[in-house]
Chains A and B, each alone.
Chain A
Amino acid sequence: MSAHAEHAHEHAHGHDDGVSHSTFKGYMTGFVLAVILTAIPFWLVMTHAFDKSSTTAIVVLAFAAVQMVVHMIYFLHMNAKSEGGWNMLALIFTLVLVVITLAGSIWVMFHLNQNMMPGMMDMKNLP
């Protein structure tokens, strides 16, 4: 076993119950960030800050994405090292599936809707 691996192993044994690095400061940082990142989109939508709905939608989604990352880091204590990286690997795999599911469904169904306009349902076009 190399010296590096041995060190990592010892380090892992340092935490007897798998509970580590939760600090008051970390939770409070996460909480304050989460409050700000929640309040802004609510404010944007409730005061109709933007004229265009699509702008608001994109900004709201962006805030949601940032807040999810904040929760992951400060509340769920995600990092590339916990559980030997398997946590992160599972998360990345899940994110790939989530993006495919969401983007794929919405894209495909949107196009189906577009192509199912009543005008295209002409009887003479059917076999």
Chain B
Amino acid sequence: MSDSHARTMPGERKALRFHLTEEHHPENGTLLGFWLYLMSDCLIFACLFAVYGVLGRNYAGGPTGAEIFELPVVALNTSLLLLSSITYGFAVLEMQRDKLRPMLVWLGITGLLGAGFIFLELQEFAHLIAEGAGPQRSAFLSSFFTLVATHGLHVTFGIIWLITLMVQVGKKGLIPENKRRLMCLSMFWHFLDVVWIGVFSFVYLMGVLP
């Protein structure tokens, strides 16, 4: 946009202007701002991944990843989160068609899949802690719990946000403000799925390798 003034036609004899006469602002600043938040969140996860990358093999004589990770459970967890991503996508499609009821149904399914993910993860954590493989056991387990639980905490807050939005949409309908909020949560939800790709590849799949 800034170069548009420099490209004045040679025939035009206009005084140089260095400001825009019309209001210029991004179409929807909220979405860009939310994207910037997600990028900063990405840096938090990068730090936690780096910590895990450094400490992930320091077992302190305790259990190793190959001993404690149950890949079938992780695969189930991954499918739940991936399915919740696509159901949120369907909710967005219904939102674009202004169909309130189907959208709420898809959002509800998304929330249930997310809750299932959290349930399985908490079960895994409880199982590990009961076995004496809690976060205090070794550097590996400390970094593992920090990284995976931070992701789980994000998903938990995503579910709370989802329920809040369902109530809001139910009360006010699909007004532009609610659509904007739904798009923000959509980015948040898909972003968490992207982080989970990193978690299941870097932590679980690589963790069980000998």
A contact residues vs B (CB 8 Å cutoff): 1-2, 5, 12-13, 15-19, 22-24, 27-28, 30-31, 34-35, 38, 41-42, 45-46, 53, 56-57, 60-61, 63-64, 67-68, 71-72, 75-76, 83-84, 86-87, 90-91, 93-94, 97-98, 101-102, 104-106, 109-110
Contacts and interface: CB of A to CB of B under 8 A. Distances in A.
B32 A87 contact: yes
B149 interface: no
B95 interface: yes
B96 A22 contact: yes
Interface of B: 1, 4, 7, 26-28, 30-32, 35-36, 39, 42-43, 46-47, 49-51, 53-54, 71, 75, 78-79, 82, 85-86, 89-90, 92-93, 95-96, 176, 179-180, 183, 187, 190-191, 193-194, 197-198, 200-202, 205-206, 208-210
Which of B39, B47, B79, B90 has the most C-beta atoms of chain A within 10 angstroms of its own C-beta?
B39
* Chain B residues touching A, majority SS: helix
Contact of A86 (B32, B49, B93, B198): B32
Contact of B53 (A35, A97, A106): A106
Given A1-B4, A17-B176, A42-B71, A53 B209 contact: yes
Contacts of A15: 27
Contacts of B26: 83-84, 86
B202 A64 contact: yes
A102 B201 CA distance: 15
B50 A22 contact: no
B43 A101 contact: yes
Contacts of B93: 22-24, 27
Contacts of A46: 71
Contacts of A13: 27
A63 B200 CA distance: 11
B28 A17 contact: yes
A17 B54 CA distance: 44
Given A27-B93, A101-B43, A60 B201 contact: yes
B46 A97 contact: yes
B201 A64 contact: yes
Nearest to A14: B27
19 contacts: A15-B27, A17-B180, A18-B28, A19-B95, A19-B96, A22-B96, A23-B93, A31-B85, A38-B82, A45-B71, A45-B208, A76-B191, A87-B35, A90-B35, A90-B36, A94-B39, A97-B46, A102-B53, A109-B54
